[in-house]
A and B are shown apart, each in its own frame.
Chain A
Amino acid sequence: MADEIKMKIEEEQEGTQVYSVPFPKDLSQLKDMAPIVIKFPWQVDYIHSYGQDSPWFAGVSNKKLLATKCMDEKCGYVCATPRLACPVCGKEMDWIELPQQAKVHTFTVCHFGSETFLPECPFVLALIEWEEADTLFLTRLLGVDPLKPTLDWIGMKVQAKFLRLSKFKPTDVYFVPAE
């Protein structure tokens, strides 16, 4: 016998094609009619450019983790998630390389999510910090048990790992606990 007896069929969006519906003789009955609900498929291939951020993706494809640094000597702000305009002083920023070891700043375990990522649940999202950078980087954290999360993960030393076959997405790099 099953542990739990199913009492409900989960709703999904498959349906039957219908080309006609009944119609009353008396028009005054129309306002009591149930709403007609139709399915409208919507799919698009969007041609997305990373523009000025593109070198970062070339970097992870070559196992290098890039960041940007403000060219102004007095400022020198470093963005671990690159921007080419300094968020502090507005000057242009330059590309620099970041160390591949860093620390967990915060994290979560996603047990649900957007449609795209549902098959990967549960997965760990983390923001990573570097002593060498003023801002953080959003990434996936692997090598920890997603069913046993603990605040002790914060501050943990982590190591960057790179996909061998690049997808040219920020997930071409991910982090695991450092040895």
Chain B
Amino acid sequence: MRPVYAVAGGVSKFAKARPDATYQALVKESFDYAVNDLGIEYKKFIEMCDGSVSSYFSDHFARQLMGGIMATDYLGLCPKPSLRVESGGATGGMCIQEGWKSIASGQMDICPCYGFETMSHVNTWKGNEFIALASDVSWDFPVGGFYSGYYAMMVVRHMKEFGTTVEQLAHISVKNHYNAYHNPYSQKQLKLTIEDVRNAPMVAYPLTRLDICVMSDGAATIMLASEDGVAKLEKESGKRIPKVKLTGIGSGTDMMRMSDRPHGDVILLPNESPEDYKDLKYPGVHSFRAGRTASKMAYEMAGITDPLGQIDFVELHDAYTSSEMQTYEDMGLCKYGEGGDFAASGKAFMPNIDYGLKLKDKSVCPVNPSGGLIACGHPVGASGIMQGVFALWQLQGTIPKHFNDKTLFLPDAKVGAIHSHAGTGTYVTVTIMEKEA
């Protein structure tokens, strides 16, 4: 397999509603930004592309089948090869990995990957219903289909199993909303306290409105290239592209119905042993087996044996504060059962922001420096790509330029991980991105 590089990215403004633009125009907005950043004339760049990958989650939200090709044709990429990727909330992460495969296999040298979602076209309650249709319509949806309720049941079990507290979860909301204060792309910029999070209206016990991401309209694009592709782009633009390599990809799955999840043995990472989990029934409904599988696969490929020691930052799928906490464990940033402590420890916070909290540990591996989905918004098909773009900008050292603010810039970061996650952990992707000297 050939090395794959990310060379440029763009993110449309995420907003509750973007009636000023159709999804095709939103994709174009993010795509144009990336092409401009490369410094290549649009028509020339399109000629250089060997094909593309598009992604969006819901035909219901779009009220359009085959919206992928309509984004592709709006960009002017026909008649080159393309496909649409859909894997629920992991759609964006999977889109990047499909682009990776096209390049690694030798089929393409330059491949743009773009995704979108327009969720504002129905009211919030109907939107919740559309999302809940991504649960078993015979057995789950009719009982009270509501994704926040599903995640709430998972974290309630986590609380019972491990003693995790709602205050620990609230730390994640405070962190991500504070971080977003310095990210102009974010949808919600709030300075909160633990009390604010707990006093917000209860949505699904124990998750309040500030534990949960919002629905958004938006799009994102990331451009991938082989070594030859990078050389061609550099020749055309006359500019050197800071090299960021996708050194590991991994993905995993789990059964759609939470009721069906097994209660067996933990899938171990290299820094864990069976003795760590003697009495734990895994994954049950408290952990994401798909997230662990994806992490293990990506880590093996990228040579990561000590995740917390080797990964400098993570952009992960925090549709809920609880799922961020559970993902710390899946990704091996801490052991299973320690996610709550880890959340409140300070290890996942930014080093240079005063959150108004007493944190016992220094920043070790900032998680969601961008503000994550909770604060940036979650236009499903775009979210995983947005994470890729923000991670790329961190590793290229261009966050200060793109954000017009250097607070969220991690100048020493060499290895980043992005993590995309679908409905209650059914599909999860993990991609490792590294700065090449």
Where the two chains meet, the residues of A that have a C-beta atom closer than 8 Å to any C-beta of B are 13, 35, 37, 40, 42, 48, 50, 53, 79-81, 83, 87, 105-118, 120, 123, 125-127, 134-140, 149, 151, 154, 169-171
A140–B258 Cα distance when bound, in Å, is 15
In this assembly, does B137 line the interface, its C-beta being within 8 Å of a C-beta of chain A? yes
A-B contact pairs, 21 of them (CB 8 A): A35-B20, A48-B138, A110-B148, A111-B202, A112-B128, A112-B148, A112-B203, A114-B146, A115-B123, A117-B145, A125-B149, A127-B157, A127-B258, A135-B261, A136-B260, A136-B285, A138-B140, A140-B144, A151-B160, A154-B156, A170-B138
Complex: chain A residue closest to B286, CB-CB? A106
A83–B125 Cα distance when bound, in Å, is 31
Where the two chains meet, the residues of B that have a C-beta atom closer than 8 Å to any C-beta of A are 19-20, 63, 123, 125-126, 128-129, 132, 137-140, 142-146, 148-149, 152-154, 156-157, 159-160, 201-206, 255, 257-263, 285
Given contacts A81-B259, A151-B159, A171-B142, contact A110 B129 (CB under 8 A): no
Q: Give 8 A-B pairs besides A105-B285, A111-B201, A114-B132 with Cβ atoms closer than 8 angstroms.
A: A81-B259, A108-B204, A110-B144, A112-B128, A112-B146, A127-B285, A135-B262, A136-B261
A114–B63 Cα distance when bound, in Å, is 18
Q: Is the CB of B143 within 8 A of A140?
A: yes
Q: Is the CB of B123 within 8 A of A114?
A: no
Given contacts A127-B258, A136-B259, A170-B138, contact A110 B20 (CB under 8 A): no
Q: Is the CB of B142 within 8 A of A115?
A: no
Given contacts A13-B123, A106-B160, contact A37 B19 (CB under 8 A): yes
A48–B141 Cα distance when bound, in Å, is 13
Shortest B184–chain A CB gap in Å is: 23
A80–B259 Cα distance when bound, in Å, is 8
A105–B139 Cα distance when bound, in Å, is 17
A127–B286 Cα distance when bound, in Å, is 12
Q: Is the CB of A117 within 8 A of B160?
A: no
Q: Is the CB of A110 within 8 A of B142?
A: no
Given contacts A106-B156, A106-B160, A127-B285, contact A138 B128 (CB under 8 A): no
A126–B143 Cα distance when bound, in Å, is 10
Top 7 closest pairs, chain A to chain B, by CB: A108-B152, A114-B129, A106-B157, A115-B125, A136-B259, A113-B146, A109-B205
